[in-house]
Amino acid sequence: MLNKLTEVYKGKKIFLTGHTGFKGSWLLKIFSLLGADVKGYALAPEGELNLYSVINGDAMCQSVIADLRDRDALNDAVTSFEPDFIFHLAAQPLVRLSYQIPSETFEVNAIGTANVLDAMRLLNKPCNAVLITTDKVYHNNETDYPYKETDRLGGYDPYSASKACTELVIDSYRNSFFNTNTYDKHQKANAVGRAGNVIGGGDWSKDRLIPDIVRALADDKEIEIRNPNSVRPWQHVLEPLFGYLLLGAKLAEQPTVYSEAYNFGPDVNDAFPVQKMVELAIKCWGSGSYFTNVDSSQPHEAGLLKLDITKAKNALNWKPMFNAQKAVQYTIDWYKNYYTEKDKADAYTEEQILAFLNTLNDQQ
Protein backbone atom coordinates (compact mmCIF):
# COMPACT_ATOMS: atom_id res chain seq x y z
CA MET A 1 0.00 0.00 0.00
CA LEU A 2 2.85 2.40 0.81
CA ASN A 3 4.37 1.72 -2.60
CA LYS A 4 1.03 2.23 -4.36
CA LEU A 5 0.39 5.56 -2.67
CA THR A 6 4.00 6.67 -3.12
CA GLU A 7 3.63 6.12 -6.87
CA VAL A 8 0.65 8.46 -6.89
CA TYR A 9 1.86 11.24 -4.57
CA LYS A 10 5.68 11.24 -4.57
CA GLY A 11 6.94 14.52 -5.99
CA LYS A 12 3.40 15.78 -6.55
CA LYS A 13 2.34 19.22 -5.38
CA ILE A 14 -0.33 18.94 -2.67
CA PHE A 15 -2.25 22.00 -1.48
CA LEU A 16 -3.50 21.04 1.99
CA THR A 17 -5.93 23.29 3.83
CA GLY A 18 -6.24 22.84 7.57
CA HIS A 19 -2.70 21.48 7.80
CA THR A 20 -2.25 22.86 11.33
CA GLY A 21 -5.32 21.04 12.69
CA PHE A 22 -5.62 17.58 14.17
CA LYS A 23 -6.54 15.62 11.03
CA GLY A 24 -4.48 17.94 8.85
CA SER A 25 -1.34 17.32 10.90
CA TRP A 26 -1.73 13.55 10.61
CA LEU A 27 -2.25 13.88 6.85
CA LEU A 28 0.75 16.20 6.56
CA LYS A 29 2.91 13.57 8.27
CA ILE A 30 1.64 10.91 5.85
CA PHE A 31 2.36 13.10 2.82
CA SER A 32 5.87 13.65 4.17
CA LEU A 33 6.38 9.88 4.32
CA LEU A 34 5.05 9.58 0.75
CA GLY A 35 7.54 12.17 -0.53
CA ALA A 36 4.96 14.76 -1.60
CA ASP A 37 5.61 18.50 -1.91
CA VAL A 38 3.06 20.12 0.42
CA LYS A 39 1.89 23.69 0.75
CA GLY A 40 -0.40 24.20 3.73
CA TYR A 41 -3.00 26.90 4.25
CA ALA A 42 -4.67 27.32 7.64
CA LEU A 43 -5.01 29.40 10.77
CA ALA A 44 -2.19 29.23 13.30
CA PRO A 45 -2.15 26.06 15.44
CA GLU A 46 -4.63 26.39 18.28
CA GLY A 47 -3.30 26.46 21.83
CA GLU A 48 0.13 25.78 23.23
CA LEU A 49 -0.46 22.04 22.96
CA ASN A 50 -1.17 20.93 19.39
CA LEU A 51 -0.12 18.07 17.12
CA TYR A 52 1.29 20.32 14.40
CA SER A 53 3.93 21.68 16.77
CA VAL A 54 4.57 18.26 18.32
CA ILE A 55 5.52 16.77 14.92
CA ASN A 56 7.34 19.95 13.77
CA GLY A 57 4.92 20.53 10.90
CA ASP A 58 6.79 23.59 9.60
CA ALA A 59 9.63 21.29 8.54
CA MET A 60 7.30 19.26 6.30
CA CYS A 61 5.60 21.94 4.24
CA GLN A 62 5.40 25.51 3.02
CA SER A 63 3.05 26.91 5.62
CA VAL A 64 0.71 29.81 4.88
CA ILE A 65 -1.09 31.09 7.96
CA ALA A 66 -4.25 32.76 6.68
CA ASP A 67 -8.05 32.59 6.71
CA LEU A 68 -10.18 30.70 4.17
CA ARG A 69 -12.38 33.78 3.97
CA ASP A 70 -9.47 35.86 2.63
CA ARG A 71 -10.18 35.11 -1.02
CA ASP A 72 -7.25 37.08 -2.42
CA ALA A 73 -4.71 35.41 -0.14
CA LEU A 74 -6.16 31.99 -0.93
CA ASN A 75 -6.19 32.61 -4.69
CA ASP A 76 -2.58 33.72 -4.58
CA ALA A 77 -1.51 30.74 -2.47
CA VAL A 78 -3.16 28.24 -4.82
CA THR A 79 -2.37 29.75 -8.20
CA SER A 80 1.27 30.49 -7.37
CA PHE A 81 1.80 26.89 -6.19
CA GLU A 82 -0.02 25.21 -9.11
CA PRO A 83 -0.95 22.05 -7.20
CA ASP A 84 -1.64 18.64 -8.69
CA PHE A 85 -4.00 17.85 -5.80
CA ILE A 86 -6.01 19.86 -3.31
CA PHE A 87 -7.00 18.24 -0.02
CA HIS A 88 -9.44 20.57 1.71
CA LEU A 89 -9.76 19.85 5.43
CA ALA A 90 -9.91 23.37 6.90
CA ALA A 91 -13.19 24.13 8.69
CA GLN A 92 -14.91 25.29 11.83
CA PRO A 93 -15.39 21.69 13.05
CA LEU A 94 -17.20 21.92 16.40
CA VAL A 95 -20.95 21.54 16.89
CA ARG A 96 -21.18 23.30 20.24
CA LEU A 97 -19.01 26.21 19.09
CA SER A 98 -21.26 26.64 16.05
CA TYR A 99 -24.07 27.70 18.41
CA GLN A 100 -21.84 30.53 19.65
CA ILE A 101 -20.58 31.65 16.23
CA PRO A 102 -23.22 30.47 13.73
CA SER A 103 -22.61 33.08 11.04
CA GLU A 104 -18.85 32.57 11.15
CA THR A 105 -19.36 28.81 10.93
CA PHE A 106 -21.36 29.21 7.71
CA GLU A 107 -18.80 31.65 6.31
CA VAL A 108 -15.79 29.42 7.01
CA ASN A 109 -17.35 26.13 5.97
CA ALA A 110 -19.53 27.04 2.99
CA ILE A 111 -18.02 30.26 1.62
CA GLY A 112 -14.50 29.13 2.53
CA THR A 113 -15.00 26.00 0.41
CA ALA A 114 -16.35 28.14 -2.44
CA ASN A 115 -13.15 30.19 -2.21
CA VAL A 116 -11.04 27.03 -2.44
CA LEU A 117 -12.94 25.84 -5.51
CA ASP A 118 -12.79 29.28 -7.08
CA ALA A 119 -9.00 29.28 -6.73
CA MET A 120 -8.95 25.82 -8.28
CA ARG A 121 -11.09 27.14 -11.15
CA LEU A 122 -8.41 29.74 -11.93
CA LEU A 123 -5.65 27.15 -12.36
CA ASN A 124 -4.40 26.64 -15.90
CA LYS A 125 -3.49 23.01 -15.34
CA PRO A 126 -5.12 19.69 -14.36
CA CYS A 127 -5.99 19.38 -10.68
CA ASN A 128 -7.93 16.94 -8.50
CA ALA A 129 -9.56 17.97 -5.23
CA VAL A 130 -10.66 15.82 -2.28
CA LEU A 131 -13.00 17.91 -0.15
CA ILE A 132 -13.81 16.79 3.38
CA THR A 133 -17.20 17.37 4.97
CA THR A 134 -18.75 15.18 7.70
CA ASP A 135 -21.22 12.42 8.48
CA LYS A 136 -23.41 15.16 9.99
CA VAL A 137 -24.42 16.46 6.54
CA TYR A 138 -27.35 14.03 6.54
CA HIS A 139 -30.87 14.93 7.65
CA ASN A 140 -30.77 12.90 10.86
CA ASN A 141 -33.99 11.17 11.88
CA GLU A 142 -32.30 9.72 15.01
CA THR A 143 -33.14 6.17 13.93
CA ASP A 144 -31.00 3.06 13.71
CA TYR A 145 -30.43 3.58 9.99
CA PRO A 146 -27.02 3.87 8.29
CA TYR A 147 -27.07 6.86 5.93
CA LYS A 148 -26.08 6.36 2.29
CA GLU A 149 -24.50 8.96 0.01
CA THR A 150 -27.81 9.40 -1.84
CA ASP A 151 -29.82 10.22 1.29
CA ARG A 152 -31.25 13.65 1.99
CA LEU A 153 -28.87 16.28 3.34
CA GLY A 154 -29.81 18.55 6.22
CA GLY A 155 -28.59 19.78 9.60
CA TYR A 156 -30.19 20.70 12.92
CA ASP A 157 -27.29 22.70 14.38
CA PRO A 158 -25.35 25.44 12.56
CA TYR A 159 -22.27 23.21 12.09
CA SER A 160 -24.20 20.37 10.45
CA ALA A 161 -26.24 22.76 8.32
CA SER A 162 -23.10 24.62 7.23
CA LYS A 163 -21.57 21.35 6.05
CA ALA A 164 -24.75 20.46 4.13
CA CYS A 165 -24.47 23.91 2.51
CA THR A 166 -20.84 23.11 1.73
CA GLU A 167 -21.96 20.02 -0.17
CA LEU A 168 -24.34 22.16 -2.25
CA VAL A 169 -21.47 24.52 -3.04
CA ILE A 170 -19.29 21.60 -4.14
CA ASP A 171 -22.07 20.15 -6.27
CA SER A 172 -22.67 23.52 -7.91
CA TYR A 173 -19.00 23.94 -8.84
CA ARG A 174 -18.90 20.36 -10.09
CA ASN A 175 -21.85 21.02 -12.38
CA SER A 176 -20.97 24.55 -13.44
CA PHE A 177 -17.19 24.50 -13.80
CA PHE A 178 -15.87 20.95 -13.36
CA ASN A 179 -18.57 19.04 -15.18
CA THR A 180 -17.51 15.48 -15.91
CA ASN A 181 -19.05 15.71 -19.39
CA THR A 182 -16.58 18.45 -20.34
CA TYR A 183 -13.56 17.18 -18.41
CA ASP A 184 -11.27 17.30 -21.47
CA LYS A 185 -11.71 21.08 -21.53
CA HIS A 186 -11.10 21.98 -17.87
CA GLN A 187 -9.24 18.84 -16.62
CA LYS A 188 -10.36 19.32 -13.03
CA ALA A 189 -12.33 17.02 -10.76
CA ASN A 190 -13.50 17.00 -7.17
CA ALA A 191 -14.76 14.31 -4.80
CA VAL A 192 -16.13 14.44 -1.26
CA GLY A 193 -15.16 12.45 1.82
CA ARG A 194 -17.73 12.20 4.63
CA ALA A 195 -16.23 10.83 7.83
CA GLY A 196 -17.74 9.96 11.18
CA ASN A 197 -16.40 10.74 14.64
CA VAL A 198 -12.62 10.57 14.37
CA ILE A 199 -10.30 9.86 17.28
CA GLY A 200 -6.52 9.62 17.54
CA GLY A 201 -3.46 10.91 19.32
CA GLY A 202 -2.65 14.58 19.31
CA ASP A 203 -6.14 16.03 19.53
CA TRP A 204 -6.47 18.59 22.30
CA SER A 205 -9.50 20.46 20.96
CA LYS A 206 -12.21 21.73 23.28
CA ASP A 207 -15.57 19.96 23.49
CA ARG A 208 -14.34 16.69 21.98
CA LEU A 209 -14.69 13.46 23.88
CA ILE A 210 -11.18 11.97 23.67
CA PRO A 211 -9.34 15.24 24.47
CA ASP A 212 -11.68 15.77 27.43
CA ILE A 213 -11.03 12.20 28.61
CA VAL A 214 -7.26 12.47 28.24
CA ARG A 215 -7.04 15.85 29.97
CA ALA A 216 -8.92 14.42 32.94
CA LEU A 217 -6.84 11.23 33.04
CA ALA A 218 -3.54 13.11 32.76
CA ASP A 219 -4.58 15.42 35.62
CA ASP A 220 -5.97 12.50 37.68
CA LYS A 221 -9.47 14.01 37.65
CA GLU A 222 -12.89 12.46 37.14
CA ILE A 223 -14.13 12.46 33.52
CA GLU A 224 -17.37 14.37 32.98
CA ILE A 225 -19.76 12.88 30.41
CA ARG A 226 -22.44 15.10 28.84
CA ASN A 227 -24.25 12.57 26.64
CA PRO A 228 -23.57 9.04 27.92
CA ASN A 229 -26.10 7.35 25.62
CA SER A 230 -25.24 9.12 22.35
CA VAL A 231 -24.16 6.57 19.75
CA ARG A 232 -21.35 7.48 17.36
CA PRO A 233 -19.45 5.64 14.59
CA TRP A 234 -16.03 5.88 16.25
CA GLN A 235 -12.99 5.43 14.02
CA HIS A 236 -9.27 6.07 14.26
CA VAL A 237 -8.06 9.11 12.32
CA LEU A 238 -5.87 7.01 10.02
CA GLU A 239 -8.91 5.14 8.68
CA PRO A 240 -10.55 8.05 6.82
CA LEU A 241 -7.21 9.68 5.96
CA PHE A 242 -6.10 6.65 3.97
CA GLY A 243 -9.60 6.60 2.50
CA TYR A 244 -9.07 10.18 1.29
CA LEU A 245 -5.71 9.20 -0.19
CA LEU A 246 -7.25 6.25 -2.03
CA LEU A 247 -10.03 8.52 -3.28
CA GLY A 248 -7.47 11.04 -4.55
CA ALA A 249 -5.59 8.26 -6.32
CA LYS A 250 -8.77 6.96 -7.98
CA LEU A 251 -9.74 10.50 -8.94
CA ALA A 252 -6.40 10.93 -10.68
CA GLU A 253 -6.92 7.67 -12.62
CA GLN A 254 -10.54 8.16 -13.61
CA PRO A 255 -11.74 11.67 -12.71
CA THR A 256 -15.09 11.36 -14.45
CA VAL A 257 -15.92 8.16 -12.57
CA TYR A 258 -14.94 9.05 -9.00
CA SER A 259 -16.09 12.67 -8.86
CA GLU A 260 -18.71 11.86 -6.21
CA ALA A 261 -19.24 11.66 -2.43
CA TYR A 262 -18.07 8.73 -0.27
CA ASN A 263 -18.76 7.76 3.34
CA PHE A 264 -15.85 6.66 5.53
CA GLY A 265 -16.73 5.10 8.85
CA PRO A 266 -16.58 1.89 10.88
CA ASP A 267 -18.75 -1.12 10.20
CA VAL A 268 -22.36 -0.49 11.16
CA ASN A 269 -22.31 -2.89 14.11
CA ASP A 270 -19.22 -1.20 15.53
CA ALA A 271 -20.86 2.01 16.72
CA PHE A 272 -21.37 2.32 20.45
CA PRO A 273 -22.38 4.90 23.08
CA VAL A 274 -20.20 7.53 24.71
CA GLN A 275 -20.25 5.84 28.11
CA LYS A 276 -18.73 2.65 26.69
CA MET A 277 -16.10 4.74 24.93
CA VAL A 278 -15.11 6.33 28.25
CA GLU A 279 -14.96 2.94 29.98
CA LEU A 280 -12.69 1.58 27.22
CA ALA A 281 -10.39 4.60 27.48
CA ILE A 282 -10.07 4.19 31.26
CA LYS A 283 -9.26 0.49 30.80
CA CYS A 284 -6.55 1.31 28.23
CA TRP A 285 -5.09 4.07 30.40
CA GLY A 286 -5.00 1.77 33.42
CA SER A 287 -6.85 4.02 35.85
CA GLY A 288 -9.53 6.69 36.06
CA SER A 289 -13.19 7.28 36.84
CA TYR A 290 -16.12 9.21 35.41
CA PHE A 291 -19.45 10.80 36.28
CA THR A 292 -22.41 11.84 34.13
CA ASN A 293 -23.71 15.39 34.01
CA VAL A 294 -26.69 15.50 31.69
CA ASP A 295 -27.82 19.11 31.29
CA SER A 296 -31.19 19.44 29.55
CA SER A 297 -30.42 23.07 28.70
CA GLN A 298 -27.29 22.28 26.67
CA PRO A 299 -27.39 22.76 22.88
CA HIS A 300 -28.83 19.95 20.77
CA GLU A 301 -26.39 17.34 19.48
CA ALA A 302 -27.30 14.27 17.43
CA GLY A 303 -28.01 11.24 19.60
CA LEU A 304 -27.73 8.45 17.02
CA LEU A 305 -25.79 8.55 13.77
CA LYS A 306 -24.47 5.73 11.56
CA LEU A 307 -23.00 5.57 8.06
CA ASP A 308 -23.37 3.05 5.26
CA ILE A 309 -19.85 2.53 3.87
CA THR A 310 -20.76 0.05 1.13
CA LYS A 311 -19.89 2.48 -1.65
CA ALA A 312 -16.34 3.12 -0.41
CA LYS A 313 -15.81 -0.61 0.06
CA ASN A 314 -16.95 -1.48 -3.45
CA ALA A 315 -15.65 1.48 -5.43
CA LEU A 316 -12.37 2.23 -3.63
CA ASN A 317 -11.52 -1.17 -2.16
CA TRP A 318 -11.40 0.60 1.21
CA LYS A 319 -12.55 -0.86 4.49
CA PRO A 320 -11.94 -0.11 8.17
CA MET A 321 -8.93 -1.91 9.62
CA PHE A 322 -9.65 -1.35 13.32
CA ASN A 323 -12.73 -2.06 15.37
CA ALA A 324 -13.71 0.61 17.88
CA GLN A 325 -11.81 -1.06 20.72
CA LYS A 326 -8.60 -1.11 18.67
CA ALA A 327 -9.15 2.52 17.68
CA VAL A 328 -9.41 3.51 21.35
CA GLN A 329 -6.33 1.44 22.23
CA TYR A 330 -4.27 3.06 19.44
CA THR A 331 -5.41 6.49 20.55
CA ILE A 332 -4.74 6.09 24.27
CA ASP A 333 -1.36 4.47 23.52
CA TRP A 334 -0.35 7.63 21.64
CA TYR A 335 -1.24 9.87 24.60
CA LYS A 336 0.45 7.60 27.13
CA ASN A 337 3.59 7.69 24.99
CA TYR A 338 3.37 11.48 24.72
CA TYR A 339 3.01 12.10 28.44
CA THR A 340 5.85 9.65 29.15
CA GLU A 341 8.34 10.71 26.44
CA LYS A 342 7.28 13.97 24.82
CA ASP A 343 10.46 14.25 22.76
CA LYS A 344 9.61 11.00 20.99
CA ALA A 345 6.03 11.93 20.01
CA ASP A 346 6.92 12.67 16.38
CA ALA A 347 8.70 9.34 15.98
CA TYR A 348 5.82 7.51 17.65
CA THR A 349 3.34 9.22 15.30
CA GLU A 350 5.34 7.89 12.36
CA GLU A 351 5.55 4.48 14.00
CA GLN A 352 1.76 4.32 14.30
CA ILE A 353 1.32 5.33 10.64
CA LEU A 354 3.72 2.63 9.44
CA ALA A 355 2.13 0.02 11.71
CA PHE A 356 -1.27 0.94 10.29
CA LEU A 357 0.14 0.56 6.77
CA ASN A 358 1.35 -2.91 7.69
CA THR A 359 -2.19 -3.73 8.79
CA LEU A 360 -3.44 -2.51 5.40
CA ASN A 361 -0.89 -4.65 3.61
CA ASP A 362 -1.90 -7.73 5.61
CA GLN A 363 -5.53 -7.20 4.55
CA GLN A 364 -4.77 -6.78 0.83
Question: For the segment 88-112, what is each residue's pLDDT rounded down to a tens digit?
Answer: 999 999 888 999 999 999 999 999 9
When pLDDT is averaged across residues 282-296 and rounded to a whole number, the result is 88
pLDDT the model gives residue 359: 83
Which residues lie closer than 8 Å to 72 by C-beta, 6 or more apart? none
Question: Do the domain assignments include residue 168?
Answer: yes
Of residues 88, 42, 89, the one with CA closest to residue 61: 42
pLDDT the model gives residue 360: 78
What is the Cα gyration radius of the chain?
Answer: 19
Burial class (CB in 10 A: 0-12, 13-18, 19+), 349: buried
pTM assigned to the model: 0.95
Residue-range definition of the domain harbouring residue 79: 2-199+234-268+304-323
Overall number of domains in the chain? 1
Question: Do the domain assignments include residue 153?
Answer: yes
Q: SS3 helix, strand, coil % of the chain, rounded to 5? A: 50, 15, 35
**Confidence grade of residue 270 (pLDDT, cut at 50, 70, 90):** confident
When pLDDT is averaged across residues 132-154 and rounded to a whole number, the result is 92
Share of the chain above pLDDT 70, in %: 96
∠ at Cα 115 (114, 121), nearest 5°? Answer: 85
Question: For the segment 227-247, what is each residue's pLDDT rounded down to a tens digit?
Answer: 888 877 789 999 999 999 999
Q: Are strands 231-232 and 272-273 parallel, antiparallel or unpaired?
A: antiparallel
Question: Do the domain assignments include residue 120?
Answer: yes
Classify residue 153 by its DSSP letter: B
Supply the angle between the helices 209-218 and 274-285 in degrees, to the nearest 10.
Answer: 40
Question: Do the domain assignments include residue 317?
Answer: yes
Question: Do the domain assignments include residue 335?
Answer: no
**Confidence grade of residue 164 (pLDDT, cut at 50, 70, 90):** very high
- β-bridge mates for residue 147, sequence order: 307
Question: Do the domain assignments include residue 176?
Answer: yes
Q: What is the CATH number of the domain that holds 73?
A: 3.40.50.720
When pLDDT is averaged across residues 106-129 and rounded to a whole number, the result is 98
Question: For the segment 292-343, what is each residue's pLDDT rounded down to a tens digit?
Answer: 987 666 665 655 678 999 999 999 999 999 998 899 999 999 999 999 999 9
Of residues 355, 358, 350, 364, the one with CA closest to residue 51: 350
Question: For the segment 10-68, what is each residue's pLDDT rounded down to a tens digit?
Answer: 999 999 999 999 999 999 999 999 999 999 999 999 888 999 999 999 999 999 999 99
Question: Do the domain assignments include residue 88?
Answer: yes
Question: Do the domain assignments include residue 84?
Answer: yes
What is the rounded average pLDDT for all residues in the chain?
93
pLDDT the model gives residue 271: 72
Q: Side-chain half-sphere of 272: how many Cα atoms within 13 Å?
A: 12
pLDDT the model gives residue 299: 66
Lowest mean pLDDT among 135-139, 230-234, 357-361: 230-234
